[in-house]
């Protein structure tokens, strides 16, 4: 290794892409690694910004719930995973400290106290507990240290952007227990002006807190306990106007004719003007968090790892779904609550040898309960239905319902690498998954 190697050089970075600590340059996988130094240098605080550092990673998020990512163009779209069916899971797995996050929405939260990020391309089902067909994003945070240390950073920017990040670590009991506490706070005024109400929208009000305890009761045993919580709030999310796309409806029901009939025009079709006139309230208020325990025991040539976790995701947001100043749809939001529990047990060789292997058992359960609500406004009949209907037919018409979804997954997986020569290796793996999903849905209508 050259003495002047870059901080983000693979020579310097230890990864766990194959569930064992290895130098990135020694891993024969399509792998991209982003170090904490590079994240700090580029001011990257969330996955959307990381996607500019990893060309094969694409991140799409109209709002936190409607979030999706793909690797090499493969994965799941925003519509299929988030909007249409909460029960579907992404083709790209999202992990934080070895714990799988079933909902892509949790990737929208700001990072806290990162060590590095690994982006793995291609199927990862023979080494990861949850099967992922297109790749995996693995977030690795900094561990507690037995040496005392602290760090803090404050930033200020345009639109009254303020961000504060801090962390502290040190020993609790010498050589037995260490702690680490970190947190971040990010606020920013809005970036789109609503001329109807005279307010800035698309604000940011994020907070995150993470606490860890590292126990080393024996030289061959370590236990890492992690608890975290994050909040994503804001008067969000609206969009700017650019142009109108034609539809298959008759000309009289196209946007141009409908808007002309009401004498309505959008404030501007220049997106850089950053103005809107939506008339329904918007806002997002979501939290996520959980607790996990990672235990690793090395016994002679074997290493056994247990990852136990519980997580939740609590979502609510209000939208103006017609995105105009016309009172077509006045209320639209889908409060949702997701809970998941998982247990993974892995067996691997403790030291690199002629044959390296990893295998394990994985159990995952999640429950998602949602309450979709939609209420139409005074111009809904004119805007949505053919002419001739009573003008108040849809005024106040609304729907509310309940979705209740459950899934259970059990898997056995394994992978082995035979080092035939120092420069030639053969890798093979197997996986078997048993999965069940069921759910119910009901809706009620009223008004109009």
Instruction: Give me the pLDDT at residue 61, please.
Output: 72
Q: What pLDDT, on a 0 to 100 scale, did the predictor assign at position 23?
A: 66
- 267/273 Cα distance (integer angstroms): 9
Query: Which pLDDT score is estimated for 10?
Result: 45
Exposure string (b/e) for 55-93, b if CB count within 10 Å is 16 or more?
Answer: eebbbbbebbbbbbbbbeebbbebeebbeeebbebbbbb
Closest Cα to residue 67, out of 55, 83, 56, 43? 83
Where do runs of H (alpha helix) occur along 263-396?
380-384
- Strands annotated E in 73-160: 74-75, 92-96, 99-100, 114-121, 135-141, 149-157
Provide the pLDDT for residue 325.
Answer: 94
Q: Which fold has domain 14-238+278-446?
A: Maltoporin; Chain A (2.40.170)
**H-assigned helices in 180-289:** 255-262
> What is the structure's pLDDT at 33?
83
Determine what percent of the chain is predicted with pLDDT higher than 70. 90
In three-state secondary structure terms, 276 is strand
- The model carries a pTM of 0.87
Contacts of 187 (CB under 8 A, 6+ apart): 160, 161, 162, 163, 203, 204, 205, 206
How many CA atoms, within 13 angstroms, populate the side-chain half-sphere of residue 425?
19
pLDDT at 154: 94
For the chain, which ranges sit under pLDDT 70? 1-30, 62-64, 75-85
Measure the CA angle with vertex 314, ends 320 and 338; round to 5°. Answer: 115
Report CA dihedral (219, 416, 136, 435) to the nearest 10 degrees.
-100
Rounded to whole angstroms, the Cα distance separating 369 from 441 reads 10
Which sequence spans correspond to the domains of the chain? Answer: 14-238+278-446
């Amino acid at each position: 290794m050259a003495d002047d190697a870059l901080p983000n050089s693979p020579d310097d970075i230890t990864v766990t892409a194959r569930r064992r600590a290895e130098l990135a340059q020694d891993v024969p996988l399509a792998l991209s690694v982003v170090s904490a130094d590079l994240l700090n240098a580029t001011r990257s605080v969330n996955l959307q910004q990381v996607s500019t550092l990893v060309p094969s990673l694409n991140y799409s998020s109209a709002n936190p719930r409607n979030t999706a990512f793909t690797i090499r163009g493969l994965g799941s779209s925003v519509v299929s995973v988030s909007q249409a069916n909460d029960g579907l899971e992404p083709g790209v797995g999202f992990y934080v400290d070895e714990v799988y996050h079933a909902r892509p929405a949790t990737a929208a939260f700001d990072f806290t106290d990162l060590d590095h990020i690994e982006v793995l391309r291609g199927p990862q089902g023979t080494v990861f507990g949850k099967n992922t067909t297109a790749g995996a994003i693995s977030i690795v945070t900094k561990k507690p240290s037995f040496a005392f240390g602290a760090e803090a950073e404050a930033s200020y920017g345009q639109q009254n952007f303020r961000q504060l990040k801090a962390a502290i670590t040190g020993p609790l009991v010498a050589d037995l227990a260490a702690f680490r506490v970190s947190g971040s706070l990010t606020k920013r005024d809005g970036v789109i002006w609503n001329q109807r109400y005279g307010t800035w929208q698309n604000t940011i009000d994020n907070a995150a807190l993470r606490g860890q305890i590292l126990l080393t009761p024996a030289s061959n045993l370590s236990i890492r306990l992690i608890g975290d919580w994050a909040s994503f709030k804001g008067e969000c999310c609206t969009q700017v106007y650019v142009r109108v796309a034609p539809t298959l409806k008759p000309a009289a029901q196209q946007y141009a004719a409908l808007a002309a009939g009401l004498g309505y025009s959008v404030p501007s079709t220049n997106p850089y003007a950053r103005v809107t006139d939506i008339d329904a309230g918007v806002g997002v208020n979501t939290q996520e968090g959980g607790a996990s325990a990672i235990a690793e025991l090395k016994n002679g040539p074997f290493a056994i790892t247990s990852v136990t976790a519980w997580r939740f995701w609590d979502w609510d947001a209000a939208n103006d779904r017609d995105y105009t100043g016309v009172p077509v749809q006045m209320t639209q939001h889908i409060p949702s609550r997701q809970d998941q529990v998982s247990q993974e047990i892995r067996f691997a060789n403790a030291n690199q040898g002629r044959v390296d292997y990893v295998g394990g058992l994985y159990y995952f359960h999640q429950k998602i309960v949602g309450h979709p609500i939609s209420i139409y406004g005074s111009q809904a009949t004119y805007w949505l239905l053919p002419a001739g209907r009573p003008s108040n037919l849809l005024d106040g018409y609304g729907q509310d319902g309940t979705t209740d979804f459950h899934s259970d997954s059990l898997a056995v997986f394994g992978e082995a690498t035979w080092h035939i020569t120092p420069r030639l290796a053969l890798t093979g793996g197997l996986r078997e998954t048993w999965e069940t999903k069921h759910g119910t849905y009901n809706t009620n209508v009223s008004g109009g």
